[in-house]
């Protein structure tokens, strides 16, 4: 009788022909490291627990009531800011744009972060094409003389102090009284009546004939506290800013205000970047001027649940991106760099090299502290920049700005 093979004679499990082999495309164990995560665990949980509700896409969405309902009628400590950020992170990738790297037709913008406005003067010197001879000689001498290096440090400190003094002096000269002028009792009552009056929601409260924009009672409700601003209210207010500049051209900068539909039309064509779709928006016959003549060009950018602002500064050859949540989007600015080059070439028959322009991100802009004031922050960024003023406001002013904007829309006149 044949004996059973000993244990050392048995076929090892790994070499057994009948043993099932692991498929090469099988998913790795859950404990394996997959690289850096794009979102924190908290934001992932927020997106699972609080998905974007379908009603958020309605004309008027009461963000405040929705957030309160999620927390059992209690207002969260952050006023819904964390929830908005989780939505923004989850949906920001939906806005597909063709970057310059993808198209291969233009260079990326130079990224220059200005962390302290006091260094603006020093940065301006660095941007010069050639440095003065004495600076080159000074740098050469510093290598052999430690005392000169000490003097150079003292000079830089003096320059920074002087820049700070000039900044304070400029702020002191800015007359902000008009920007925070309280509403009269009559204006307060008029705004209150429009916010709370009974009647059909479809009733038209305001009709702006030049732009043919009408604002119904339902759409006007977005100016109430804890509501998201809609396209009609934003676009009508931008039309009023255009008319304000025409009335008093010496008081305000020469600006162009694109409406809320421009950027998506430009960046979300079938092939991504689509200049032809917006080419006829800026004819001289329609505007009476060309964009190359403007000081600043404002471009509202909507990220599905969040309003941001891009600025093309034609005088300083810079691009700005202002996000009340503190973020930035280089794709947006590179898209606009390509657009302004095509626009100037088409309308003014001139060639500008936007690859030498800079992307400026100045820290310290006013930021929202809740989940519903992004649209109002964007409008005030535009308002203050069109006046050439620093952004001297904060979250505490938003309730006043909502009432003021409502008053100006009802009167069809921006102050």
Mean pLDDT computed over 23-48: 52
How many Å apart are CA 166 and CA 177, to the nearest integer?
Answer: 21
Spatial neighbors of 274 by CB under 8 A, at least 6 apart, are 265, 266, 267, 268
Whether residue 223 contacts residue 406, with contact meaning beta carbons closer than 8 Å, is answered with yes
Please report the pLDDT score of residue 360 as a whole number. 81
Mean pLDDT lowest for which of 62-71, 243-252, 333-342, 358-367? 62-71
End-to-end CA distance of the chain: give it in Å, rounded. 109
Whether the Cβ atoms of residue 295 and residue 272 lie closer than 8 Å to each other: no
Q: Which of 113, 171, 124 is nearest to 316 (CA)?
A: 124
Among 306, 320, 358, 385, the active-site one is 306
Query: The tokens of 359 are what?
Result: 């992307």
| Residue 97 confidence class, pLDDT cut points 50, 70, 90 | very low
Instruction: Tell me the average pLDDT of the chain.
Output: 80
For residue 48, what pLDDT is reported?
64
Assess whether pLDDT exceeds 90 at residue 187. Answer: yes
d(CA 314, CA 339): 13
Compute the average pLDDT of residues 383-391.
93
Q: Which of 323, 342, 373, 383 is catalytic?
A: 323
pLDDT at 74: 73
Cα–Cα distance between 176 and 208 in angstroms, integer?
28
- Residue 91 tokens, joined: 């949906």
Q: Is the pLDDT reported for residue 279 higher than 50?
A: yes
Which candidate, 292, 328, 313, places its Cα nearest to that of 388?
313
Contact of 224 with 192, CB cutoff 8 Å: no
Integer Cα distance of 215 and 335 in angstroms: 31
Residue 207, CB half-sphere, CA atoms under 13 Å: how many?
5
Catalytic, out of 89, 256, 374, 383: 374
The answer to whether 323 is a known catalytic residue is yes
CB 377 within 8 A of CB 171: no
CA 307 to chain centre: 7
pLDDT at residue number 397: 96
Retrieve residue 288's tokens. Answer: 């009476």
Query: Nearest Cα to 217, choosing from 195, 244, 234?
Result: 195
Average pLDDT, integer, range 40-59: 62
Q: Which candidate, 414, 357, 388, places its Cα nearest to that of 295? A: 388
Winning range, highest mean pLDDT, from 108-117, 223-232, 358-367: 223-232
Phi, psi (degrees; rounded to nearest 5) at 56: -65, -20
Is 306 among the residues known to form the active site? yes
Residue 144 makes CB contacts below 8 A (sequence gap 6+) with none
Burial state string for 251-285 with b = 16 or more CB within 10 A and e = fewer than 16? ebeebbbbbbebbeebbbbeeebbeebbeeebeee
Selection from 291, 354, 307, 301 nearest residue 332 by Cα: 301
Mean pLDDT of 177-193: 92
| Secondary structure, 3-state, 280-312 | HHHCHHHHCCCHHHCCEEEEEEECCCCEEEEEE
Does residue 201 have a pLDDT over 80?
yes
Banded pLDDT at 46 (limits 50, 70, 90): low
- Name the token pair of 33: 């490291």
pLDDT the model gives residue 160: 72
Q: Which residue has the tokens 């694109």?
A: 258
Domains of the chain: 94-116+171-411 (3.40.395.10)
Residue 57 contacts residue 93 (beta carbons within 8 Å) = no
Convert the pLDDT of each residue in 241-252 to its tens digit: 999 999 999 999
pLDDT at residue 261 is higher than 80:
yes
Q: Residues near 403 by Cβ (< 8 Å), separated by ≥ 6?
A: 183, 188, 191, 223
Contact 176, 392 (CB under 8 A): yes
State the average pLDDT over residues 277-284: 94
Q: Is the pLDDT of residue 412 over 90?
A: yes
Distances (CA, A) of 64 to 59, 61, 78, 301, 303: 15, 9, 11, 23, 19
């Amino acid at each position: 009788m044949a004996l059973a093979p000993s244990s050392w004679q048995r076929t090892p499990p790994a070499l057994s022909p009948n043993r099932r082999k692991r498929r090469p495309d099988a998913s790795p164990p859950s404990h394996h490291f997959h690289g850096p995560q794009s979102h924190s665990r908290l934001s992932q949980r927020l997106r699972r627990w609080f998905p974007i509700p379908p009603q958020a896409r309605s004309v008027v969405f009461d963000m405040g009531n929705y957030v309160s309902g999620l927390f059992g009628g209690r207002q969260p400590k952050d006023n819904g800011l964390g929830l908005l950020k989780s939505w923004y992170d989850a949906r920001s990738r939906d806005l597909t744009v063709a970057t310059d790297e993808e198209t291969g037709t233009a260079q990326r913008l130079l990224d220059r972060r200005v962390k302290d406005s006091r260094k603006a003067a020093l940065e301006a010197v660095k941007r010069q094409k050639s440095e003065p001879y004495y600076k080159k000689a000074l740098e050469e001498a510093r290598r052999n003389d430690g005392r000169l290096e000490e003097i150079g440090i003292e000079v830089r400190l003096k320059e920074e102090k002087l820049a700070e003094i000039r900044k304070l002096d400029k702020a002191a000269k800015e007359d902000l009284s008009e920007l925070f002028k309280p509403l009269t009792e009559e204006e307060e009552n008029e705004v209150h009546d429009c916010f709370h009056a009974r009647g059909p929601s479809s009733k038209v409260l305001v009709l702006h004939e030049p732009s043919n924009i009408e604002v119904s009672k339902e759409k006007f409700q977005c100016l109430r506290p804890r509501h998201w601003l809609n396209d009609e209210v934003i676009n009508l207010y931008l039309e009023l800013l255009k008319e304000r500049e025409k009335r008093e051209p010496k008081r305000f900068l020469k600006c162009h205000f694109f409406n809320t539909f421009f950027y998506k039309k430009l960046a979300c064509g079938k092939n991504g970047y689509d200049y032809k779709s917006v080419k006829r928006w800026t004819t001289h016959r329609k505007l009476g001027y060309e964009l190359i003549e403007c000081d600043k060009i404002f471009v509202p950018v909507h990220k599905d649940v969040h309003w941001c602002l891009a600025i093309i500064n034609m005088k300083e050859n810079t691009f700005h991106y202002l996000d009340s949540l503190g973020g930035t989007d280089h794709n947006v600015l590179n898209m606009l760099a390509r657009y302004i080059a095509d626009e100037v070439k088409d309308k003014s028959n001139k060639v500008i090299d936007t690859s030498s322009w800079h992307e400026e991100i100045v820290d310290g802009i006013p930021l929202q502290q809740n989940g519903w004031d992004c649209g109002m922050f964007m409008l005030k960024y535009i308002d203050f920049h069109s006046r050439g003023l620093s952004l001297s406001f904060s979250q505490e002013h938003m309730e006043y700005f909502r009432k003021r904007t409502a008053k100006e829309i009802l009167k069809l006149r921006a102050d």
